[in-house]
Amino acid sequence: MKKNVRLNTPFTDQKPGTSGLRKSSKQFEEPNYLESFIEAIFQNLTGVGGGTLILGGDGRYGNRRAIDVILRMAAAHGISRVVTTIDGILSTPAASHLIRTRKAIGGIILSASHNPGGPEGDFGVKLNGSNGGPASETLTSAIFEFTQNLSEYSIIESEPISLNQAGNYLIGGMTVEVIDGVDDYLALMQQLFDFDLIRNFLNKDFPIVFDALHAVTGPYAKQLFEGILKMPLGTVKNAVPLEDFGGGHPDPNLTYAHELANLLLEGNNYAFGAACDGDGDRNMILGKACFVNPSDSLAILAANATCAPAYADGLVGVARSMPTSAAVDVVAKKLGILSFETPTGWKFFGNLLDKGLITLCGEESFGTGSDHVREKDGLWAVLFWLQILAVKGLTVSEIMAQHWSRFGRHYYSRHDYEEIPNVIAENLFDRVESSLSQMVGNKFAGREVTLADNFSYLDPVDNSVTQKQGLRILLNDGSRVILRLSGTGTKGATLRVYLESYSSANGELFLDPQQALSGLIKEIDDLAEIQKRTGMTRPTVIT
Ligand code: VG1
Ligand code: CO
């Protein structure tokens, strides 16, 4: 039976400009909180009446309850079919693929991505549009506006359906189709890469390890590596998705995936290691005693793309987010293909991919992807690396060294300062911003400042302009320092400092990045007074 629930207090809590809602699990447990946001989605998404919706999540605490609520609200709003998955497990790239193949009106992915989960952690609702990518700014703004005046929501009363096995169910007049969320995705991967070649290469003498961090990629990786690619049992670690990710932080970087990092950087058992984040869209790539910076990873995939059957004819173009290093630009130039610089966030790649202007794209934050879906894709990146390694018969560090000796090296690092009180972070940021206009022509870390601004982006496809996407200081030798405040944190503010300097192929290629960037690190701290204002003597995370 359908009922309308009146809301006494309006919902005013969505941060505009993000493709969904990411908050503490506690906040999501407040009465009518989740329901209010879902109502706003169903009132603003195009094609709800009679449409198909994709629904799933990364298995974190709150996943099952949210699926139950969303199914009953979808039925109340006249959606004709919801495709959801066994145990509600669906990675972000797999959801993007399903949206596209099922010609859905969009998808709802229940995840706070790389943020920790559990009753004390975070939960999230990510909304994707009919192209399979993160919802556009126009749609999220409309949803936000709608929440400001929300007074009731509609829901159907019915028992939760079981997600234990595949099958079709009915809620009101709506069909709920429960499928295995892994199958379609792995079928797509087999179209893109040469699985026989990879299988033979790995099983000859190339031991690998994958850490699923108790998050969504566990079931995908088990079937992929230990099933289809016939690697030994135990190749996939922490493979069972847990509601609190086993107490860990499902963020694949050297700090939070330190167990895996130690196996590769200290140990001798593996030639290759990788991890993905909570919802499976990020990737970290490691070789023996070798960490692949995500910006380099994008450049290396671009330079060697023709190793993979899917990209054998070459690339149309590439794109990177503004703070991502320019390593891929150098490759694009050499290949004579288009390259684009977009603001942070995958949604900005959507238009370029839909228009066929780019084939590969990526972000420094461990995100890499292609035109096969409209999200970044963690396991895809891992397979792409394995494909290149198998074709070349080289180790990861050999591939890196070869790349740098051909294209030069972009020393790169990101320093994150987490949980800064909001006022302190905002003051710090505003102070630097107001000093930018006087910087051009002056010295910075012994070099000359050629440009200093707050990055603004003109979308070449729809001509929309997105402003204030990060403070940039560009120097005359190609070095850059960038400052941003995170849009995905849920506790205080996170300041991100991005540092980059270029060494040509004839220069020093094997320095420690922190050492190579030490002049920039010191100068930005002097300028922004990071230590002084935050009281933090070092970043929370260094990548
Ligand atoms: C971070 C990353 C950004 C990424 C975003 C979503 O955003 O820096 O590159 O697109 O997370 O990733 P921010 O605003 O905190 O810097 V995920 O894995 O949540 O979909
Ligand atoms: Co993610």
CATH number for position 396: 3.40.120.10
**How far is C-alpha 188 from the geometric centre of its chain's CA atoms?**
19
Task: Evaluate: CB of 140 within 6 angstroms of ligand 1.
Answer: no
17-26, 383-392, 439-448, 530-539: the lowest-pLDDT one? 17-26
- Which residue shows structure tokens 């909180």? 33
Q: Which residues are catalytic?
A: 113
Q: Do 347 and 225 belong to one domain?
A: yes
3-state class (DSSP) for residue 35: helix
Nearest CA to ligand 1 atom 19: 113
Continuous H helices in 206-323: 217-221, 258-265, 294-303
Atom of ligand 1 nearest to the CA of 22: 19
Could you give the 3-state DSSP secondary structure of residue 501? strand
Task: Give 58 Cα–ligand 2 centroid separation in angstroms.
Answer: 10
Low-confidence winner among 17-21, 340-344, 366-370, 537-541 (lowest mean pLDDT): 17-21
| pTM score, whole prediction | 0.93
Amino acid at 100: R
Last residue of a domain, one of 128, 161, 179: 179
Would you say 235 and 273 are in contact if contact means Cβ atoms under 8 Å apart?
no
Q: What is the largest CA-CA distance in the chain?
A: 72
Cβ atoms of 12 and 478 within 8 Å: the answer is: no
pLDDT tens-digit readout, 151-207: 899 999 999 999 999 999 999 999 999 999 999 999 999 999 999 999 999 999 999
Q: Give the pLDDT band of residue 11 (cuts 50, 70, 90).
A: low
If asked whether residues 227 and 373 sit together in one domain, one would say yes
Return the ligand number nearest the Cα of 124. 1
For the four alpha carbons of 245, 250, 252 and 257, in that order, the dihedral sign comes to negative
For residue 318, report the distance from its CA to the centre of ligand 1, in Å: 19
For 505, residues 6+ apart whose C-beta sits below 8 A from its C-beta are 404, 405, 406, 407, 408
Q: Is the CB of 369 under 6 A from ligand 1?
A: no
> Is ligand 1 within 6 A of the CB of residue 17?
no
**pLDDT tens per residue across span 247-289:** 999 999 998 999 999 999 998 899 999 999 999 999 999 999 9
Query: In the sheet that 283-287 helps form, which strands lie side by side, from edge to edge?
Result: 236-237, 208-211, 272-276, 283-287, 290-292
Q: With contact defined as beta carbons under 8 Å apart, do 297 and 368 qualify?
A: yes
Q: CATH no. for residue 522?
A: 3.30.310.50
Instruction: Tabulate helix, strand, coil % of the chain (nearest 5).
Output: 35, 25, 40
Q: What is the residue-averaged pLDDT of the chain?
A: 94
Ligand nearest to the CA of 320: 1
Between 324 and 491, name the one with better pLDDT.
324
Which pair of structure tokens corresponds to residue 537?
A: 């003597």
**Best substitution site from 137, 216, 365 to test ligand 1's pocket, by max atoms within 8 Å of Cβ?**
365
Q: In angstroms, rounded to a whole number, what is the distance separating the alpha carbons of residues 536 and 59?
A: 34
Total domains present in the chain = 3
Asked if residues 201 and 218 have their Cβ atoms less than 8 Å apart, the reply is: no
- What's the pLDDT at 16? 52
419 & 275 share domain: no
CB of residue 403 inside a 6 A radius of ligand 1: no
**CA distance linking residue 190 with residue 208, whole number of Å:** 19
Q: Distance from the CA of 422 to the center of ligand 1, in angstroms?
A: 18
Q: 194: which strand partners?
A: none
In contact, 501 and 524? CB cutoff 8 Å: no
Closest residue by Cα to residue 112 from 21, 218, 32: 21
Residues 263 and 363 in one domain: yes
Confidence band for 19, pLDDT divided at 50, 70 and 90:
low
Rounded Cα gap, residues 483 and 255, in angstroms? 21
Amino acid at 248: G
Q: Are residues 243 and 112 part of one domain?
A: no
CB of 470 closer than 6 A to ligand 1?
no
Query: Where among 145, 179, 213 does a domain terminate?
Result: 179
Distance CA 344, CA 363 (A): 7
Q: Do 416 and 507 belong together in one domain? A: yes
Find out whether the beta carbon of 344 lies less than 6 Å from any atom of ligand 1.
yes
Query: Measured in angstroms, how far is the CA atom of residue 365 from the centroid of ligand 1?
Result: 7
- Whether residue 343 sits in one domain with residue 454: no
Report the distance separating Cα 360 and Cα 373, nearest Å.
11
**Cα–Cα dist 318/53, whole Å:** 30
Rounded to whole angstroms, how far apart are CA atoms 536 and 543?
Answer: 17
Please indicate whether residue 137 or residue 501 has the higher confidence score (pLDDT).
501
Among 407, 431, 461, which residue terminates a domain?
A: 407
Contacts of 238 (CB under 8 A, 6+ apart): 211, 212, 213, 214, 218, 246, 248
Q: Could you tell me the distance, in angstroms and rounded to a whole number, from the CA of residue 194 to the centre of ligand 1?
A: 30
Question: Best of 113, 488, 540, 543 to mutate for ligand 1, by most ligand atoms within 8 A of CB?
Answer: 488
Q: Are residues 375 and 426 in the same domain?
A: no
Do 250 and 286 sit in the same domain of this protein? yes
Q: Nearest C-alpha to atom 4 of ligand 1 is from which residue?
A: 345
> Ligand 2 center to residue 323 CA distance, Å?
18
Residue corresponding to tokens 């228009």? 355
Q: In the predicted model, is pLDDT for residue 15 greater than 80?
A: no
The predicted structure's pLDDT at residue 519:
96
Pocket of ligand 1 contains residue 281 by CB under 6 Å: yes
Q: Is 282 in the pocket of ligand 1 (CB under 6 A)?
A: yes
| Residue reference for tokens 């995840």 | 111
Q: Provide the residue range defining the domain that includes 340.
A: 185-407
Measured by CA distance, the residue closest to atom 11 of ligand 1 is: 488
The reply to whether 58 and 101 lie within a common domain is: yes
Same structural domain, 312 and 389: yes
Rounded-to-integer distance, Cα 279 and Cα 82, Å: 20
Which residue has the CA at smallest separation from atom 6 of ligand 1? 345
Model confidence at 355: pLDDT above 90: yes
Give dist(CA 433, CA 430) in Å, integer. Answer: 5
- The answer to whether the CB of 444 is under 6 A from ligand 1 is no
> Cα 313 from chain centroid?
27
Band (13; pLDDT cuts 50, 70, 90): low
Which positions ≥6 away from 485 have C-beta within 8 Å?
A: 425, 426, 429, 493, 494, 495, 496
Going 89 to 94 to 100 to 101, the CA torsion angle's sign is: negative
**What's the gap in Å between 114 CA and the centre of ligand 2?**
5
With H, G, I as helix, E, B as strand and everything else as coil, classify residue 210. Answer: strand
Are residues 206 and 160 both part of a single domain? no
- Residue 236 φ then ψ, to 5°: -95, 120
Q: Tell me the sheet residues that pair with 451.
A: 474
Q: How many CA atoms lie within 13 A of 20 on its CB side?
A: 25
